[in-house]
Structure 1
Amino acid sequence: MIRGRRAEALKDVHDQHAAPLWRYAMSLTGDAAEADDVVQETLLRAWKTTRILTEPPEQVGGWLFTVARNIVIDKSRSAPRRRESPGSELPDEPVSDRVDEVLDAMMIHEALAALSQAHRVVIVGAYYRGRTVADLSEELGVAEGTVKSRLHYGMRALRLALKERGVSR
């Protein structure tokens, strides 16, 4: 019985205020579908607010228009409305952070500094300058076997120096 009275009261409110509410919502939104949504939401809130439906329909107009205005404001502040429109340009590629590279380079530099001059020269020549064993042999004036030996023992010492600095493999 109470539900029937509330439904009848809502029907009376709808009959009296739906058209003016829709025009008001349309003036605020500029979109007919959105105005329909605002009116529907406003009437739903009236249905949920029991005391509004106990008032005579002609006296709830102010409340309905305030609720409609607040709904429009809330929708304009919502996340989908604030999103940027897609641009014609793609975003820049992300730039990776080079901190790890710099720290690794510093650690290798320190470990190389801990090696003997003979080992350091062949390792830097072979791995950083891209020299061949023959080129290094000619450049340093030593036999190719000596260059190979220095590379082998130099790399072994470099691994040990890095391990001492906390680099594990």
Structure 2
Amino acid sequence: MPMDEEAVAAMYRDHGAALRRFARGAVGSEQQAEDIVQEAIIRVWKLAPETTVGLRAYLYRTVRNLIVDEYRHQARRPRVVDSLDDGFDRAYDAERIDVLLGRVVMEEALLRLTAEHRQALIALHYRRLSVAEAAEELGVPVGTVKSRCFYALKALRSTLEEMGVEP
């Protein structure tokens, strides 16, 4: 099947920036992130060129899989080991990459919330402020903090589902 360059370009235009941020947070390199995103978009288009429902989640899963594949590929390459690296543990590294990917996904999801919802959520769940402390810091009533946090969590769940994160 010949590649529909316009369809691929539209997919890249609509989803490329978010996917690059996601990949860059995991691989650390702008060029490597760009390569991964391009590969993911082409793969997804080849497998399902007419798909629009759930496309973003499918793209995120494909990017994540490519990141994991790249990590595994690099882990198989011969390495120069010095005396400090004798305790290298691949299981630990696999856990570390999963934690890193989780953080990147959460950061991307939080960026999609409104500023007010994000501030309330971060104050209560990340900084562990009480509702009263968060209300004072944000300059809003206690009920507003509770409401913002409720709707922020609801929006966050929806965003994470869209990104392909399963509960």
TM-score, normalised by the number of residues in structure 1: 0.44
- State the structure with more CA Rg: 1
TM-score, normalised by the number of residues in structure 2: 0.45
